[in-house]
Structure 1
Amino acid sequence: MAATAYEVGIDASAIEAVDMHVHVEIDNCGHVSLPPALNDASSKYFKAEERTPSLDRIAETYRGLNMAAVVFTVDARTKLKREPNSIEDIVEGAARNNDVLIPFGSVDPLTGADAIDRAKRLAGDYGVRGFKFHPSLQGFDPSDEQFYPLWEALQEIGLPAIFHTGQNGMGAGLPGGYGIKLAYSNPLLLDAVAADFPEFQIIMAHPSVPWQDEANSIATHKANVFIDLSGWSPKYFPESLVKMSNSVLQDKVLFGTDYPLITPQKWLSAFADLPLKDEVRPKILKANAVKLLGLEAGRKA
């Protein structure tokens, strides 16, 4: 059977926002991407109301809000000793909801050449529009040169990649944090990648606590590095992030929630209270993502 290839169907001029960070953690067969202990701990940490909505349910939510959403899972099969949920399912679901959903792929860097082959297949055959990595959950140092062939391949493919940075909700409160190491999510590790692959567009996910100043500096210094604001309520954003989002980083910062862990309604309610300039808000909510994802042309066949 031929692969279902995603094609963008989003009218960028008609939507109000683009959520750059939405997790799909269950597939059509009912397989959940995370082990039960991690799933339960993250639900408790974020006080999530609905942990594993279906992809069609996610589409309904964003369609009702007149928003688009980037959707993905994380392939951490080596570290978690658990198969990810199906990225092919995510692409198929995004294709039938292509007026609001944008699929990103994920590969496990610890699988070496197989990760490169799969990344090329997900982009070429399935039409994913980017990739998602979680160095702490996947258990790797992105600055280690053993992973450079993967970054080189992604640079050649020409799609952006989201990397988790900062504090981890995954494993929070568990003994040893479930073995998840925070240091792999230090944004400074991505500075080397951004420097050595200047055409590779890197999105540092989340306020990078406790390394927010480092993240601000990297995004300011490297034209190919961006920050998404997911994973935290805006009322808890570090002051330096708010200040720089209002000035030098206003074209580099992206709206993101971490749905279903944080709902867009709750995030936007808190975002409205931030002391941001009127001209900056629409950049963060939509314009910066539209440019980064190449949606400027509006609806695409």
Structure 2
Amino acid sequence: MAYPDGVGAIDLMIGFPFKDKKAVYEYLKPGIKDGGSDDLEMPAGYMFKDVPDEADDDTDPIEVTIGEMDKWGVAAGLFGLSDNAIEAKRRHPNRVYFGMEVDPNDITGCVRKIRQAHADHGIKAVTTFPAGCNPQVPVSDRRYYPIYQTCIDLDIPIIANAGIPGPRFPAECQHVMHFDQVCYDFPELRIVMRHGAEPWEELAVKLMLKWPGLYYMPSAFAPKYYPEAIIKYANSRGRDKIMYAGYYPAGLSLERIFTEMRDVPLKDEVWPLFLRENAKRVFKLDDVA
């Protein structure tokens, strides 16, 4: 069960250091009612310690992230589509891939943006935060259905938050049971649960056993907190369903992730699948470094 140095991990949730972290999360502010969240750099800041610092004005955030990737053995990453990400891909073409975040309240506009981003930038995934949409959109809501069909048409997965959200929002829209209906209605869809699925992680395992197109990534979780049910599943029938995602720089450093990762009790044959091969297959990253 030793950690395999040199695999070249693919990080399915990574970004660049922020110049102004609070400004990045301003879009979530209309949905937050408690005054205590105003004092946090990020809406879920109460959950994290040793959060990476904001970028200095005289640093290049792209090269900071690439340097951290080099240091900790991350070959490539899925970044949110942005000007920084586009420039990063120009500099490092086989290490930077794009996902695009969507709020399906504007159904037609959202579908058009996805198709345009795929045509212009070759996005590899759509991502979404149901509890953070304004208003919230349950995973199985009709507003998502044209988005799901668009992902099928473009042959790209969608990544959706599952479980209790970190920001102080209601959670029902991210209950894992919503994924059951989606997988039934869209059997060709590849859908990846992110951000843990807690406290319904055992239900997440049951649904992954049931539905071929349902996957999981433990983004925003430090490795020492990976759910036990997920580790057991990855070491058995779920070895092709679980894939690595971090949370740099929003909440976790790559140093913390890959230092703690060495103590995760995955089987030897599971490590390459978890760190790299499952992501290559599900997201079709054939030219990854």
Q: Which residue of 1 aligns with 2:52?
A: 50
Cα RMSD over matched residues?
2.5
Query: Structure 1, residues 111-147: CA drift from partner, whole Å, max 9, x if none?
Result: 1211111111111112211111011111211211233
Q: Which residue of 2 aligns with 1:34?
A: 25
Distance apart, 1:60 and its partner CA: 2.6
Indicate the percent of aligned positions where both proteins have the same amino acid: 22
Name stretches of at least 5 consecutive residues in structure 1 with no aligned partner. Answer: 1-13, 74-86, 172-176
Distance verdict in 2 for CA 1:31–1:121, change over 3 Å: farther
Aligned partners of 1:106 and 1:119 also within 8 Å:
no
**One-letter amino acid matched to 1:147:** Y
**One-letter amino acid matched to 1:70:** L
Query: Structure 1, residues 53-79: CA drift from partner, whole Å, max 9, x if none?
Result: 534422232133331111127xxxxxx
Aligned partners of 1:106 and 1:131 also within 8 Å:
yes
Distance verdict in 2 for CA 1:50–1:239, change over 3 Å: closer
Name stretches of at least 5 consecutive residues in structure 2 with no aligned partner. Answer: 1-5, 30-37, 56-60
Q: Which residue of 2 aligns with 1:163?
A: 160
CA distance in 2, matches of 1:200, 1:52: 36
Q: Which residue of 2 aligns with 1:143?
A: 140
Aligned partners of 1:91 and 1:128 also within 8 Å:
no
SS at match of 2:245: coil
Aligned partners of 2:131 and 2:171 also within 8 Å:
yes
Query: Structure 1, residues 244-267: CA drift from partner, whole Å, max 9, x if none?
Result: 111011111001111111122212
Query: Structure 1, residues 141-176: CA drift from partner, whole Å, max 9, x if none?
Result: 12112331221112111111111111322x2xxxxx
- Tell me whether 1:119 sits opposite 2:114 in the alignment: yes
The two structures have a TM-score, normalised by structure 2, of 0.82
**One-letter amino acid matched to 2:25:** L
CA distance in 1, matches of 2:165, 2:233: 23
CA distance in 2, matches of 1:99, 1:63: 13
Distance apart, 1:43 and its partner CA: 3.2
Alignment counterpart, residue 96 of structure 2, candidates 101, 124, 128: 101
Number of residue pairs the alignment of both structures matches: 264
Query: Structure 1, residues 13-43: CA drift from partner, whole Å, max 9, x if none?
Result: x86111111245758x999321283644433
CA distance in 2, matches of 1:156, 1:245: 29
Aligned partners of 1:115 and 1:150 also within 8 Å:
yes
